Structure 1
Amino acid sequence: MKLKLFASTMLLLLGSVSAKSYTKADITVNSIQMGHMDEDLANEFSIQFNFTNKEDTFKKWQFGFYMPMPFYSLALQNVNQNLRMQICDAGGRCTNLRYVKADSITDKDLSQAYLTILEPISNFPLEEDKTYYIRLGHNNQGLPANISTFPQSLFLINTAKAADIPKIYTINTEISNYSLIGYDQNKIDEDLKNTIQSNWNSSIAANPNELKIVPAPVLVGQPIDSGYVFPKKLLIHNQLNSDNAMLQNWAEIIKDDLDKKVTVDNDGAAKDGILITEISTPKAINNNPEGYRITITADNIMIETMTNAGAYYALQTLRQLWYQNKEKLPSMSIVDYPRFKYRGILLDVARHYFSTDEIKKLIDVMAANKLNTLHLHLSDDEAFRLELASLPLLSATGANRGLGQQIGATMLIQNNLDTTNRSQLDYPLANTPYSGSYSPEDIKNLIAHANQNQITIIPEIDIPGHARSIIKAMPEVMIDHNDNSQYMSVQGYTDDVLPVCTYNSDISIGAEFTQTMNTLVNDIAKEFNGQTTIYAINNEISVAGDEVSKNAWSNDTSCRNEWSSLSSLAKSQLFLERLANNNSDLLVSGWQQLVQNPDGSFNKEIIGSGQTGHIWVWDPSSSGVKNAAKLATKNYPTVLAFADKTYFDLAYTPSMYEHGFTWAGNNNGSYTVLSSAITANETLSQTKNQQNILGLEGALWSENLASADHLFYMALPKLPALAEAAWSPAHTTSRETKLNWQSLANRLGCGTDGFLSYLNKIYEVNYRGYPNGINKEIPDGICKLNATSSIKK
């Protein structure tokens, strides 16, 4: 495993230089103002940086920053067609600024997508002790809304150094430097308070005596006797099968939790301890292989199930119970099984890298919530993270970035602006080498840990769009010089699509490209084979297939014959169909654009439903419900991942001090995630083939997730809300338009008690609102801080 590198040696624009080429600039940022300004159209915004240079005069310079909105212009797509950029001094002397971009994708990156580097078009020195302002006017690529979308990690490149070696200066900003035109914090706070109260008032009233388990089980029975007192030595008798590996792991957990000696055996006649046996009436658990029945009496704890997975989830439930009382479990019976077979999390390790230990911790938290699928996003424009012996350049080049490298700096979250960074990690700067990849041994270890916790891992690479890191790594195979198309992706890339029209042909690089793509998908799928979870599928790979620019391949002379009249999406779909047909042993999965048009219709040349493992629907629910239902009706195995419901990287609140994107909503807290239970109801009602709606997924896209701290801030407490929606019965989570939000909040707790406290103590993860439980997402006064209270109606 190659870790992130926060080295002191910096790679600069023109090559490798010493650490002396990196300096903190004595440049004072006085203000950064953003929003609608004079002459901005309704969909445009402008930014004005005001700063004072305390350094010696910079004769030749470039100014750069990270912001998740591109400042490149492409009139063909109406992208920033009115953009005007200039710098002025206090006396009114001005010059325009140009966007500094590499001439070719084979050159080392300068500006690209969310990383902007500008320079004056004429001589304009920055003189010592002089004040300047930079105004970037009429950008139409979104609106800045909060810390995550503000320009940050500012830097200045002194390009007038001797021997053509530039020197990079970082420019510090504080949150107090930023202002949004028209922003009213008092109004935001009042609106948020009203939203929280409205959500609470419109929810199903909680039962204060309910069992404090997340997700809520199907049925809890009445006490049978006085309950089970844990003995000094606890015996686990596996009467289900002879495979004790999973139970041996649980023996260690119980030993640590309860400070007891624990022994596992296969004594079929035993009547004491924890008995795990085959359920005699599978209908009681809906014939569900993940279901279980627990009966707790004074004599023993009986777990009845059909599979090891059912026993595992029963033990997860019991662990929550004994966390609440380590000496004695109350007598009761619990019948439980999941609503949906697919309960997943997408983790994007391309935009930001997470170590195997960090991923394992996420797997542990997922398993505690009875989620069962990790959708692992291994490549995107910014990186290719998987080490493949057959294609070593993909990770050797594609897993590294920074100024002076083939893949330039990007996703530069500024350390002091990230309030989630509790561990105080040093985040990369523009010229910090940043890398991370996963070896075959890393993948084996992840799979072993996932198997142990009933989590299936589905590998995903992103093609034919979002493929810039692949192109950068292997340009001689991935660049078709017949393609002179001009386009821009949603994220601002102008060179991130594969040469699809050459696949299976002898046109241009067709032969090499075809062989490479076949090798790529087969080798990745094989690396993830051998998983032992209930729903694991051998030879499955997701190719994503999403967000190809509408102008991609529009001027590509390799697109002949049947390709010539197709839209860019149809070309993408035809390429992926042919890739699947050429590799018929694979199940090729992806996002809905893999097979479906934006209006929900289907082209003729698409991968058939029988050759797909999963189709994820990310459309916001306003269109996603209808499109997902159409996919299910056409027999595609469909997973609901509606962006406005379960994209965990979206902001919890509209506050400018909150982290997260806002493009699909800016009130995307746990209540919103729980409401995916209702949109699931709506989707099911619109298709005849309800069995093809496999379940729900939450997405942790990592553009903003620069650390594990930030990842868990965005994941918790949203993840338990997803688990509730995906596992608990529909009649529990919702009644018409009302959610069981009060109940879930009651079980999540107010700090020292509840499920959030449990996750914090057991797995050492923090959450948004730590240490006060769900307090930030419910009305004032409901939680009594610094007390072990339960939430009252």
Structure 2
Amino acid sequence: MQLTRMLVLALGITVAQAQTPIHLIPQPVSVQTKSGTYRLTNSTSIQYNQPAGKATADLLAKQLNGPTGFSITPKSGTSGSIQLEINTTPDAKLGDEGYTLNATTKGVRITANKPAGLFYGAQTLTQLLPKEIGSKTAVSTNWTIPAVQITDYPRFGWRGIMLDVSRHFFPKEDVKSFIDQIAALKYNTFHWHLTDDNGWRIEIKSLPKLTSVGAFRVARTGHFGDRADPKPGEPTPYGGFYTQDDIREIVWYAQDRNVTIVPEIDIPGHSMAALAAYPELSCTKQQVSVNPGTNFADWYGNGTFKMKVENTLNPSDENVYVFLDKVFTEVAALFPNPYIHAGGDECYKGYWAQDPGCQALMKKLNIHHVEDLQGYFMGRVEKILAAKGKKFLGWDEILEGGISPTATVMSWRGIKGGIEAAQMGHNVVMTPTTFAYLDYNQGDNSVDPPIYATLRTQTSYNYDPVPDGVDAKYILGGQGNLWTEQIPNLRYAEYMLYPRSWALSEVYWSPKAARNWPDFVTRMENHFDRADVAQINHSKAVYDAIVKTSMNGDKLMLNMAGEIPGLTIYYSTDDTMPDQFSTKYTQPVALPDGPITLRVVTYRAGKPVGHLITLSRDALMKRAGQ
């Protein structure tokens, strides 16, 4: 009887292990589950068949040894219980970044054509392990890997995340952590926004004031965009910059993780930090300060604006191009990738219109519209970059002044610029605000600090980077952009990144046909748990109700929905705190007249989830456009 009981228990454990759910992000091309598991132990070995596999083997061992407490040491060979194999005969379907992963009860074998594929296979392997693999200290658990056969390769070659380090400075170690996190999700491009009005963050040795002056600003707190102007002579303690040695270290760090760094020097607008250091490069030559987050522009509803403080380089001044040649000479030497991003966005041309030098240049060039001066400027910049062996990349405004056929366009103002650029034969990186701006709120504006707009995870997940009617060969891929006006540190950057960066990783990596929102939600919730163990911050706004209002005659109508399956919404308008016994929302309802306050909660599987949303009648009327 005892032996029978032990056999049943053993069989039960085997069945449970064979049915271990697999929750991978991004979703691979093919996943075939099998029976059984492989158990990781201190005697597990990692081997690689070619020297090019060593870097991935070393990183994998580091990822495994920390949380397990093991001391696995990789070595060259062909008989590892975890075997990293670079194909001697390339598998055409895998390309440069694809891999196969075969996990059995005896071990794991990852094959790829190139080291990049091995690296991505290793990232998948860590996701197959229990969530404790993300622990920062050694823990005791059953380190099992479910038996599975995976074939995987990316849909797009450009899979990026942009981090703005100008508006808030992120120290070198934070940048490395950021790279670790995006690489684990199979992003291969780190767009590094290094310069803007709020700080110049890269050392240029031939122009030392760019960092001695341009990297630091006055200390301010409060909502970015509403802060007080700098005072004459006020100290400038806030800021920082990356030395050229820092840059080299980070570039090397990223290369080991198959991440290409694309630096951005944002010109001719967004140059206030540069002008604080070298005001003679502007039209007015007036001294300006590195901006701490003041309201320095009037924005109009149609996307146009007027600067109150000059932040543009002077396109008619030859000294500007001497300056830029120095900058790009040093930048090009630091970054081995083929691209340098030269900005080109939101360039205010009002100072150009009033400048005699710009007017004389327009006459010389037979230019009738001051807007076209930007085309001339960006053309000069592209020639400077070409002389350094670099390709020119810019935001979609670069289309407005005319650009060379070799320029690559990053489409951010919706998808229109990307469509136009592709139809003109330009390569395009799609990163529209409407799907990929990760600084936008993830949930209700009454919960998270308000910013310009809202972008929900489901919206990001449903994005397709190839617009209808566009030849896909011109779409290099896409990226998410994290502007940091209201993001002062890495912890909050994580909160804004996840889960939307999980969603976008699947958009850029996985086959379009494989996308399934309810299935992604299940995997996302598993990654919430994994992120908790890894101490990676994340938002759970997906659990919150989506609250909208409209007018039906003189009646204020309430329309609510859930972002994920299985949410039940309850609400009150009688100054009580809602719970599962309050009014259940099932369909649009007319709200009562009078000075009501709406309170909304969500439940899932009988338990409260998400945030309490509280909205006054005035706030509800505003949502209805009243």
Whether these two folds match at TM > 0.5 is: yes
In 1, Cα distance between equivalents of 2:501 and 2:123: 16
1:178-218 per-residue CA deviation (whole Å, 9 max, x = no partner) reads xxxxxxxxxxxxxxxxxxxxxxxxxxxxxx99621111111
1:393 matched residue in structure 2: 209
In 2, Cα distance between equivalents of 1:371 and 1:454: 9
1:312 matched residue in structure 2: 119
In 2, Cα distance between equivalents of 1:264 and 1:676: 40
Q: Aligned pairs, how many?
A: 501
SS of residue in 2 equivalent to 1:517 = helix
Change (3 A) 1:481 1:242: closer
Change (3 A) 1:400 1:708: same
1:597-636 per-residue CA deviation (whole Å, 9 max, x = no partner) reads 3xxxxx5x52x232x3x4211012xxx2x43123123332
In 2, Cα distance between equivalents of 1:370 and 1:435: 31
Task: Please give the residue correspondences for 1:644-655 in structure 2 after superposition, counting only pairs within 5 Å.
Answer: 644-655=434-445
SS of residue in 1 equivalent to 2:205 = coil
2:501 matched residue in structure 1: 719
Given that residues 216 and 236 in structure 2 are in contact (C-alpha distance below 8 angstroms), is that contact kept between their aligned partners in structure 1? no
Select 2:405's aligned residue among 594, 603, 609.
609
Select 2:519's aligned residue among 725, 740, 743.
743
SS of residue in 2 equivalent to 1:261 = coil
Change (3 A) 1:327 1:400: closer
Task: Please give the residue correspondences for 1:224-623 in structure 2 after superposition, counting only pairs within 5 Å.
Answer: 225-268=35-78, 270=79, 272-279=80-87, 286-324=93-131, 326-402=142-218, 412-413=222-223, 433-479=237-283, 490=305, 492-502=307-317, 510=318, 512-529=319-336, 536-537=337-338, 540-559=339-358, 560=360, 561-563=363-365, 565-584=367-386, 585-594=389-398, 596-597=399-400, 603=401, 605-606=402-403, 608-610=404-406, 612=407, 614-620=408-414
1:165 matched residue in structure 2: none
Given that residues 328 and 384 in structure 2 are in contact (C-alpha distance below 8 angstroms), is that contact kept between their aligned partners in structure 1? no
Select 2:28's aligned residue among 217, 224, 235.
217
> Could you tell me how far 1:279 is from its partner in structure 2?
4.1
Given that residues 354 and 708 in structure 1 are in contact (C-alpha distance below 8 angstroms), is that contact kept between their aligned partners in structure 2? yes
2:16 matched residue in structure 1: none
Given that residues 365 and 759 in structure 1 are in contact (C-alpha distance below 8 angstroms), is that contact kept between their aligned partners in structure 2? no
1:225-253 per-residue CA deviation (whole Å, 9 max, x = no partner) reads 53322243111121244551331122122
Change (3 A) 1:523 1:694: same
Change (3 A) 1:475 1:768: same
> Could you tell me how far 1:637 is from its partner in structure 2?
2.1
SS of residue in 2 equivalent to 1:574 = helix
In 2, Cα distance between equivalents of 1:700 and 1:710: 11
Counterpart code for 2:314: P
1:70-98 per-residue CA deviation (whole Å, 9 max, x = no partner) reads xxxxxxxxxxxxxxxxxxxxxxxxxxxxx
Change (3 A) 1:241 1:472: same
> Could you tell me how far 1:657 is from its partner in structure 2?
3.4
Given that residues 645 and 672 in structure 1 are in contact (C-alpha distance below 8 angstroms), is that contact kept between their aligned partners in structure 2? yes
> Could you tell me how far 1:692 is from its partner in structure 2?
1.8
2:598 matched residue in structure 1: none
Counterpart code for 2:84: I
1:332-362 per-residue CA deviation (whole Å, 9 max, x = no partner) reads 1011111111111111111111111111111
> Could you tell me how far 1:514 is from its partner in structure 2?
2.5
Mark the runs of 5 or more structure 2 residues left unpaired by the alignment.
1-18, 132-140, 225-233, 287-295, 300-304, 545-562, 568-601, 610-626
1:658 matched residue in structure 2: 448
SS of residue in 2 equivalent to 1:398 = coil
Counterpart code for 1:579: V
1:36 matched residue in structure 2: none
In 2, Cα distance between equivalents of 1:492 and 1:210: 55
> Could you tell me how far 1:760 is from its partner in structure 2?
3.3
In 2, Cα distance between equivalents of 1:564 and 1:471: 28
> Could you tell me how far 1:730 is from its partner in structure 2?
0.3
Pairing 1:766–2:524 present = no
Given that residues 297 and 307 in structure 2 are in contact (C-alpha distance below 8 angstroms), is that contact kept between their aligned partners in structure 1? no
In 2, Cα distance between equivalents of 1:411 and 1:344: 30
Given that residues 550 and 567 in structure 1 are in contact (C-alpha distance below 8 angstroms), is that contact kept between their aligned partners in structure 2? no
In 1, Cα distance between equivalents of 2:21 and 2:517: 13
Task: Please give the residue correspondences for 1:638-649 in structure 2 after superposition, counting only pairs within 5 Å.
Answer: 638-649=428-439
In 2, Cα distance between equivalents of 1:455 and 1:642: 22
In 1, Cα distance between equivalents of 2:606 and 2:115: 40
Counterpart code for 2:506: E
Change (3 A) 1:586 1:488: farther
> Could you tell me how far 1:390 is from its partner in structure 2?
0.8
> Could you tell me how far 1:774 is from its partner in structure 2?
5.4
1:413-452 per-residue CA deviation (whole Å, 9 max, x = no partner) reads 49xxxxxxxxxxxxxxx97731211111211221122112
In 2, Cα distance between equivalents of 1:383 and 1:312: 34
Task: Please give the residue correspondences for 1:114-193 in structure 2 after superposition, counting only pairs within 5 Å.
Answer: none
In 1, Cα distance between equivalents of 2:499 and 2:88: 37
> Could you tell me how far 1:654 is from its partner in structure 2?
3.8
| TM-score, normalised with respect to structure 2 | 0.74
> Could you tell me how far 1:784 is from its partner in structure 2?
6.9
Change (3 A) 1:351 1:491: farther
Change (3 A) 1:652 1:255: same
Mark the runs of 5 or more structure 1 residues left unpaired by the alignment.
1-207, 403-408, 415-429, 503-509, 530-535, 598-602, 734-739, 788-793
Q: Which has the higher contact order (CA 8 A, sep 6+)?
A: 1
Change (3 A) 1:477 1:757: same
1:422 matched residue in structure 2: none
Please provide the CA RMSD for this pair: 2.8
Counterpart code for 1:469: A
| TM-score, normalised with respect to structure 1 | 0.59
In 1, Cα distance between equivalents of 2:257 and 2:605: 33
In 2, Cα distance between equivalents of 1:478 and 1:517: 13
> Could you tell me how far 1:722 is from its partner in structure 2?
0.9
SS of residue in 2 equivalent to 1:609 = coil
Counterpart code for 2:532: N
SS of residue in 2 equivalent to 1:577 = helix
Given that residues 488 and 549 in structure 1 are in contact (C-alpha distance below 8 angstroms), is that contact kept between their aligned partners in structure 2? no
1:85-140 per-residue CA deviation (whole Å, 9 max, x = no partner) reads xxxxxxxxxxxxxxxxxxxxxxxxxxxxxxxxxxxxxxxxxxxxxxxxxxxxxxxx
Which is helix-richer, 1 or 2?
2
Given that residues 385 and 438 in structure 1 are in contact (C-alpha distance below 8 angstroms), is that contact kept between their aligned partners in structure 2? yes
SS of residue in 1 equivalent to 2:161 = strand
Give the fraction of aligned pairs with identical amino acids, expressed as a percent.
26
Change (3 A) 1:412 1:431: farther
Select 1:687's aligned residue among 457, 466, 470.
470
Given that residues 206 and 326 in structure 2 are in contact (C-alpha distance below 8 angstroms), is that contact kept between their aligned partners in structure 1? yes
SS of residue in 1 equivalent to 2:459 = helix
SS of residue in 2 equivalent to 1:234 = coil
SS of residue in 2 equivalent to 1:233 = coil
